Structure 1
Amino acid sequence: MIQEIQEGYVQTETHQGITTIEFFHPKSNSLPKKILQELAKEIHFAGTHKETKVIVLKSGGEKAFCSGASFEELATIKTDGDGHAFFNGFADLINAMRKCPKLIIGRIHGKCVGGGVGLAAAVDYAIATDKAEIKLSELSIGFGPFVIGPAVERKIGTAAFSALSIDATMWRNSDWAKRKGLFAEVHESVENMDESIRRLSNNLSHFSPEAMAEMKKMFWKGTDHWDTLLKERAAISGKLVQTEFTKKAIEKLKTRD
């Protein structure tokens, strides 16, 4: 199934117990609200789908894995309600990934910025290439990684998350991300990455669904309050994105893009 979303899409396919969810947007796989909503819906459905044993989350194209929030949509936000609604898209997606009873493998083929780092942190097992550099650029634009923060901090720890958030213009390479725990594996080629994903997803598709569901509960222990926390964080981002500083920063980035 392909859902056309503005200029992008979300596509879902299931083969032999492995459900692959792919998203794409021509602006470096950025995330407008509709793609966020479609991803959350597809992950929720896969979690309830009896034929699905394991999920692979990937993006299209050969460059960036995900460049985070859509600057075009950020530039249109005029009210607290609009801002809250947009960033709630990230909250709903991360919570859908967290609560999904199926294990999610992330295929991280390229650079991750902002919300893209959040997606990489919210999967249960991220397999990347050595081109998959990461950056949390939010502070340089005028807000912060508030909504995705809990997922990133849970994965890499407070010290690494703080460093990544504060030095907002600095790229960290894939080796840094692996050492901090964001990536479980890093491969020198796309072919090797894909072979590892095939091997792991095939193995998991033959394992006990009940055991994997219980393990996932264990991995995400202590995050039940995120249903409320991430929405509160979305309200903070929704206010800050309306500041004059952020409006000017987004316009510069749109021009550069």
Structure 2
Amino acid sequence: MTPYVKAWTENRITTVEFFHPAGNSLPSGLLDQLAQTIDKAGKSVDSSVLVLQSGGDRAFCAGASLTELSAIATIQEGEIFFSKFAHVINAMRQCPKFILARVQGKAVGGGVGLVAAADYCLATHDAAVKLSELTVGIGPFVIEPAVQRKIGLAATSHLTINATEFESALWAWQKGLYDDVFETSDELNQRVLDLARKLAAYDPEAMRQMKRVLWEGTEHWDNLLLQRAGISGTLVLSEFTQKALTAVRSKR
């Protein structure tokens, strides 16, 4: 049950897997490891495609660590914490290889950001999504550019405002967040493997150039996402947020 980020490469497919016993939530240490691992895999000459997945068979990612959010004491600490989500999204954006996301369960908050930052996403029918940030007095500021790029302003607004409600995997597929949705994990795993194998056989330079084209217009995200981290880092210190985080933690 120890948190981890690990990666392995087989047949030019690099799998990056993260795990945390609290619903695959993401404390700062895991975020650092995830960004570094994606960056390293992107530079490796031994692989042509990345698969991003989480451990276990339940939640894909519960988002930010509530324990760590509650411990933030200064604006600087808040900015540093949320900037780590910015670093992960930018690492995925800048990776010269296509990233396939394997989503076996629910994605909340920052987990939705990971899904949106992937180049192609495959999920099961259990993979409902929710942006819950407003319920604790912050907002999905850092991940919003990635989410809006994928599903548009209207759907992003819907998820953000309906912060207590999960939307189904079917909804996410209809909006373009998911590319494929499957009934079972076995079907999901087979399709991820099949697609990864196909991509691994393609010309790496062609895929690199294609990814650059697909992400045109996001070059300013290096600065934008850090600015957004500053907004979240300030809001997390509010009395409303501190009370809300305490209430949420007391229910667990």
**TM-score bin, normalised by smaller chain:** over 0.9
Are positions 1:22 and 2:17 aligned together? yes
CA deviation vs aligned residue, 1:72-118 (integer Å, no higher than 9, x gap): 10011010100000000000000000000010000000000000000
CA distance in 2, matches of 1:64, 1:255: 20
3-state DSSP class of the match of 2:71?
Answer: coil
In structure 2, distance between residues paired with 1:255 and 1:107: 31
Structure 2 residue corresponding to 1:139, chosen from 134, 140, 143: 134
* Aligned structure 1 segments of 4 or more residues deviating by more than 4 angstroms: none
User: Match of 1:31, SS?
Assistant: coil
- In the alignment, does 2:147 pair up with 1:152? yes
Q: Does 1:90 align with 2:114?
A: no
How far, CA to CA, are the matches of 1:40 and 1:24 in structure 2?
14
Paired position in structure 2 for 1:180: 175
Match of 2:218 in 1: 223
Unpaired runs of at least 5, structure 2: none
User: SS at 2:6's partner residue?
Assistant: strand
Work out the CA distance in 1 between the residues paired with 2:251 and 2:83.
Answer: 27
Deviation at 1:67, TM superposition (A): 0.3
2:241 to 221, 224, 246: 246
* Residue of structure 2 in register with 1:110 after alignment: 105
| Alignment-derived partner of residue 55 in structure 1 | 50
Instruction: Give 1:7 deviation, angstroms.
Output: 3.6
Show the counterpart of 2:195. 200
Cα drift, residue 50 of structure 1: 0.1
How far does the alpha carbon of each residue in 1:125-163 deviate from its partner, in whole angstroms, 9 at most, with x for none?
A: 000000000000000110100000000000000000001
State the match for 2:159 in structure 1. 164
The residue type paired with residue 10 of structure 2 is: H
1:51 counterpart SS class = coil
Q: What's 2:30 paired with?
A: 35
Aligned match of 2:3: 8
The alignment of Structure 1 onto Structure 2 pairs a total of residues equal to 252
Identity of counterpart residues, as a percentage?
Answer: 51
1:27-52, Cα deviation, whole Å (9 max, x unpaired): 00000001001000000001100001
| Equivalent residue letter for 2:52 | L
Q: Distance in 2 between matches of 1:8 and 1:248?
A: 27
Which position in structure 1 is the counterpart of 2:114?
119
- Residues 1:235 and 2:230 aligned together: yes
The CA deviation at 1:167 is 0.9
Structure 1 length-normalised TM: 0.97
The amino acid that maps onto 2:111 is G
CA distance, structure 2, for counterparts of residue 148 and residue 12 of structure 1 = 24
CA RMSD of aligned residues (A): 0.8
In structure 2, give the amino acid aligned to 1:48: K
Corresponding residue of 1:3: none
The separation in 1 between residues aligned to 2:128 and 2:18, in whole angstroms, is 19
Letter in 2 for 1:38: Q
